[in-house]
Amino acid sequence: MLLVLRNPAYRRLFTAQVVALAGTGLATVALGLLAHDIAGAGAGSVLGTALAIKMVAYVTVAPLVGAFAGRLPRRALMAGADLVRAAAALALPFVDQVWQVYVLILLLQSASAAFTPVFQAVVPEVLPAERDYTRALSLSRLAYDAESLLSPALAAVLLSLVGHDRLFLGTAAGFLASAALVVSTALPKPLAAAGPRTGRTRAGAAAGTRRFLAVPRLRALLALDLAVAAAGATVTVNSVVYVREHLGRGAADVALALGAYGGGSAAVALLLPRVLDRVRDRAVMLCGALLLPPVFAGLGAVTAAGDGGWRWPALLLAWAAFGAACSAVLTPTGRLIHRSVRPEERTAAFAAQFSLSHGCWLLTYPLAGWLGATAGLGSAVLALGAVALAGALLATRLWPPADPDVAAPAPAPPLAGHEHEHTGLREGHPHLVDAVRVRGGWRHRHPFLADGLHPHR
């Protein structure tokens, strides 16, 4: 897996991702302490609102970025987003009002929503071989898991030496280092977007989402994202409730429970490159999603049990299983999008997926928190388990079993592929460069492509 780091451009991009994630992890800890300083006992509501602002920024900003990102220098766009994030982090220690926290979080998360889809679209261009790209996706998943495990420990060490406001300096340093690495990376020249560049950005954002949802396997991916969000929200929102209130264990065990989730995710991310060389993406991702409802059923048993020493190891096992199942869905996502759209549309597609998937989290976060607090953990588990089951079954129905090119080990030769006709494209359209005029339209062959121009193939 580490062989892909021999590519100097990818090595710099991956390092930029790692240092930015480390900075984000420090900010998560520091923000909680800052909220407590400002709001005292109301810190939970401040953090909950900040989390909602984060999701809203992701849902609204990412499609707008995808609509015009192809017209801007990508290095400048990513580095500029990093600089904005660094500026917001540096300003956070000086706030003394809750509304100021909200404004800076909106600014920081909007910049993240601009950076991430562009970064995701660049990686497959830097690593065009699918085998290398698959390993890069696993490394990226491992980076996220490592951040969730190591950032709290790093923050604890730093807090023993400095005040929590200084943690924001580490956050800013991470974003500045990321910007420097991005600027120093030689990126492939992007392909020009097909079609005219006129029209409003808002319409372009909607078009990117429509193209994403026109592809059956990507519609299935949205259903899979909903199933993952149900499990992830359960872990993120209710871990502390399970450990401290339901099981009566200490604060350190909260970190252990979250570590079990990260450990399960990391284990699957390590195994997937070899698995995906032999098994179709559809089988791996659907198996991961279909594992979630049985885990919710087991969690329901833990929740309903009044006492018993078995509940703590059972909870750790459930959290590890959630992490493993979510990783099986999330890790191949990048290459699924990579295969499904034309190169010049990748940024818009990644932006659409980023926005729509976080829309799922915007639904499941409050469902896990509010339902758990008002109706009890059992009701929250039942509701979110039903959401996960619905998402998994819907994805199975939406994703055709014989979906072509999902398991192709390498790109087809330039003239191989599926012969087909286009009847609605104007003469001179960039997609028709090798097409032959026939009665009623244009005929040509190319490797299978599922995008807005080929929605049913």
Q: What is the pLDDT of residues 6-43, one digit of tens each?
A: 889 989 999 998 999 888 878 877 876 787 788 776 66
| pLDDT digits 0-9 by tens, 157-213 | 777 787 878 888 988 999 999 999 999 988 877 654 444 444 454 555 566 677 778
Which domains are seen in the chain, by residue range?
1-129+148-190 (1.20.1250.20), 205-411 (1.20.1250.20), 413-457 (no CATH)
CA–CA gap between residue 92 and residue 101 (Å, rounded): 7
Confidence of residue 430 (pLDDT cuts 50, 70, 90): low
Residue 454's pLDDT is what?
66
Quick count: other Cβ atoms within 10 Å of Cβ 16? Answer: 26
pLDDT band at 253 (very low <50, low <70, confident <90, very high): confident
Residue pair 63/357 in contact (Cβ under 8 Å)? The answer is: no
- Helix ranges (DSSP H) in 184-215: 201-213
Residue 388 pLDDT more than 60? yes
pLDDT at residue number 179:
95
Instruction: Tell me the two tokens of residue 154.
Output: 């790093």
Confidence of residue 313 (pLDDT cuts 50, 70, 90): very high
For residues 453 and 425, is the Cβ–Cβ distance under 8 A? yes
Give the residue-averaged pLDDT of 145-160: 73
Q: Is the dihedral of CA 127, 79, 121, 56 positive or negative?
A: positive
Q: Give the residue among 306, 223, 308, 295 at the shortest CA–CA distance from 260.
A: 295
pLDDT beyond 90 at 344: no
Say which residue, 200 or 314, is predicted with more confidence. 314
What is the model's pLDDT at position 299? Answer: 95
C-alpha–C-alpha distance, residues 158 and 153, integer Å: 9
> Residue 138: what pLDDT?
84
Give the number of other Cβ atoms within 10 Å of residue 363's Cβ.
Answer: 16
State pTM to two decimals: 0.75
As a whole number of angstroms, the distance between CA 98 and CA 80 comes to 26
| DSSP label at residue 69 | G
What CA–CA distances, in Å, run from 370 to 124, 254, 268, 314, 381? 39, 20, 31, 24, 12
Q: Can you give the pLDDT at residue 146?
A: 77
Q: What is the pLDDT of residue 409?
A: 36
Residues 6+ apart with CB under 8 A from 346: 121, 124, 337, 338
3-state secondary structure of 422: strand
- CA 230, 236, 237: angle at the middle one, nearest 5? 85
Instruction: Give me 79's structure tokens.
Output: 């580095």
Q: What is the pLDDT of residue 176?
A: 95
Q: Could you tell me what percent of the chain has a pLDDT over 90?
A: 28
Among the residue ranges 136-140, 231-235, 292-296, 428-432, the one predicted with the least confidence is 428-432
